[in-house]
Amino acid sequence: MVMVVTALAAGGGTRTYRLVQATWAELPASEDALTYQRDGTITMISADGVILQKLGPASRETTRYDDLPDHLVAAFVASEDQRFYDHRGVDYRGITRAALANLRQRDVVEGASTITQQLARIVYLSQERSVQRKAREVLMAHKLEQDLAKSQIMERYLNLVYLGSGAYGVADAAWIYFGKPLEQLTVADAALIAGLAPAPSLYSPEVNPDAARAQRDRVIRRMLDTGAISETEAETALATSIEVTPNEPKFLYSEFPYFTIYVEKQLEQLLTPAQLAAGGLTVETTLNVSWQRKAEDTVEQAIERYSGWQGIEQVALVAVDPRNGEIKAMVGGNDFNESQFNRVTQAQRQPGSTFKTFLYTTAIAAGFSPYKTYSDTRYVVDGYEPKNYGGTFSGEVDLLRALRNSINIVAVKLIVDVGFDPVIEVSRKMGIESPLLGTYSLALGASEVNLLELTSAYGTLANKGRHVPSHGIRRVLNSRGEVLYETDASQQAVQAIDEDTASIMTWMLRSVVESGTGRNAYIGRPVAGKTGTSEKNRDLWFIGYIPQLATGVWMGNDDSSPSSGASTTSAAIWHMFMSQITDDIPVAQFPEVPRIGGREATVEAKPIKPGRVTADRSSSRSDEASTTPSQQGRSSSRPEPSRSQGSSSQGSGNPAPSGSEGGSGRSAASTENAPSNRRSSSPSPQPSAEPPAVAPAPVAAPAPIDAPPPTVAAPAPAAPAPVAPPPPAPVAPAPAPPAPAPASAPPPPLSPSGGETPE
């Protein structure tokens, strides 16, 4: 209107007409109002459709027009735009009425902007006070009325209008001020909310209850004047006192903050700053809310059960679907309010013997047999001397048994034969992103990694050697529903190792769970995994997987102080979580184990040439006192992997976790006979499916691995949930390579004290 008057004064109707036409042609589409969201707003939803969090000035809840209470709509019409259903976007009679009222009062006591104009201002314009902005507002209001129905305009307005205290829209206001859904609002409640629209801070019932009541009563009288309510309803509403029950806006805070903050950081890497600032983003995440809550409960129970007597302050857990890399659950610590540090993604810790999986995977890919034997005796290479748990030795052992019982000396001998560079390269392909140092102690997990990458890398074995990077975001949509980003797991997947190697490694890691250090993780179905402990029990790990899910558990202290715990406890926590969710996951078998002998190497070993080696003789063989790696622990009748002149990275004698886990040589290990040297080309053994004759005993609390229990008496801890015993250790193989049978038999009962073969 002002623009028209100004143009007429400046030069006539023709010029005005042209100006209006040009401005009209530049106006944005009316349909944008139906999908508009304020700048910087982000809504995160779970894989099962649950809203996880809303960030920025977002409407926490929106309501369809048909679900809006009639008296609430009537309150806004009476307060803001009494001729809403009669005008075409601009109420010229209202402008005249407001101008006269303001002249009489010599103050701005009444506005003339219609609800349609207010919607145009919210969606398309700024709050700037200028002739140009007001002119565009008038034209945009006309355009909205021309293109949209009155019900659409009212619905969008009531879902977007700011009503104070972080309430964007009437549904938010009903919750924030009264703790009610819209359908429970009384006439008095509706009038108070409608009265907030002109000046939310001035009429806030939390800040100025007297002004809020006066404004509410003004709206009630207007509702009576327009016939929206009866005199009786008006009297009842006017007599109602102002009673609010302040609440935080819904979805303002995340129930799972470790995960949602991780997603926010991922989002910054996937979208441009302009896309993030545009607002109205919907982020479809990978989280399974049911599993996440069970993971949170598991961590809480683990802290309550184990923290005191095992000297542990923190537990972290993550679960990843290895088939597509989707993170299904993530708990970064036991209390986000106390510490926002995410121990799944941010804590770099020594993985201990869980890293042996990558060493053994490289060896198997290089053509080594699981039955290749090594002498577990004192061994010093270039001044570096690895130690087994308890300082004991097992004599002649094959790789299968060495991995099952986590024997450190064999691991170091193996990395000398395989080489640093191949192990590092395979680890990278499988998903380890942290820097890895080419030292002898790499075999025992001296290079730091985080729980997410470690779990994701184990998932590579579960996914037949294909690695899919872990992620928490499936898709990102803008306010119009257009896809801005979508994860394509098939394009991101990389064949990190060959399928045969993955199958053999999975079978070997099954033996860890079924008859080795990971027995506490047994859940009555095929499981593969590995325990790990760093020096002085500072880090306690178990990473395990079934075909559809890889889950990692870490226990420790943020200051890296020693604990009296054990990685067997981490296995028990893994069992606690997985046993709760496996009802949702059908039982699946791992791939069949291929023939061990005659395989073609897919990785080239690059043996290290140490400067000096000292090794004791094995009690069972007289030819182990060799000083060259080519003679250490070799069986002459077995096929050897290809060799080069050595790795470019030379071992340094870097101190290793002397107290880290390893085979103990105690009775559980020494009673097993090593296979003869002629078994290198034999097929994989088939685990027995026959249950033991005796009933399984419940698992008591796991004993510490390296450190003796404290001398001070501690309260008796609660034992982990009973774990079914695994099947007996694999028997000698037959000439043909049958697939491993399902792990249906429970593990043998542990000792009465709850201890088991330590790592």
Residues designated catalytic: 80, 353
**Tokens linked to 556:** 């420790």
Residue 258 contacts residue 332 (beta carbons within 8 Å): yes
Q: How far apart are CA 45 and CA 643, in angstroms?
A: 52
CA 328 to the chain's CA centroid: 6
Angle between helix axes 70-80 and 115-124 (nearest 10 degrees) is: 90
Q: At residue 311, what is the residue type?
A: G
Q: How far apart are CA 323 and CA 549, in angstroms?
A: 8
Strands in 42-45's sheet, in edge-to-edge order, are: 51-55, 42-45, 281-285, 473-477, 483-486
**Tokens linked to 123:** 């969606």
Q: At residue 213, what is the residue type?
A: R
Residue-level length of the chain: 759
Location of structure tokens 């609800």:
115
Phi first, then psi: what are they for 94, rounded to 5°? Answer: -65, -35
Sort 12 into a burial class: Cβ within 10 Å, 0-12 / 13-18 / 19+. exposed
Selection from 225, 155, 220, 210 nearest residue 186 by Cα: 220
Q: At residue 77, what is the residue type?
A: V
Residue 650 contacts residue 473 (beta carbons within 8 Å): no
- The count of other CB atoms within 10 Å of the CB of residue 386 is 24
H or E element, residue 281: strand 281-285
Phi first, then psi: what are they for 97, rounded to 5°? Answer: -60, -45
**Tokens linked to 182:** 């819209």
Residue 749: strand, helix, or coil: coil
Q: How far apart are CA 578 and CA 569, in angstroms?
A: 14
Q: What DSSP state is assigned to residue 85?
A: T
Pairing of strands 473-477, 483-486: antiparallel
Residue 318 contacts residue 327 (beta carbons within 8 Å): yes
Per-position b or e across 238-267, b if 16+ CB within 10 A of its CB: bebeeebeebebebeebebbbbbbbbbebb
Residue 502 contacts residue 460 (beta carbons within 8 Å): yes
E strand segments, 23-117? 42-45, 51-55
SS3 content of the chain, % helix, strand, coil (to 5): 40, 10, 50
Query: Is the C-alpha dihedral spanning 522, 523, 529, 531 positive or negative?
Result: negative
- The count of other CB atoms within 10 Å of the CB of residue 6 is 13
Selection from 704, 458, 446, 659 nearest residue 567 by Cα: 704
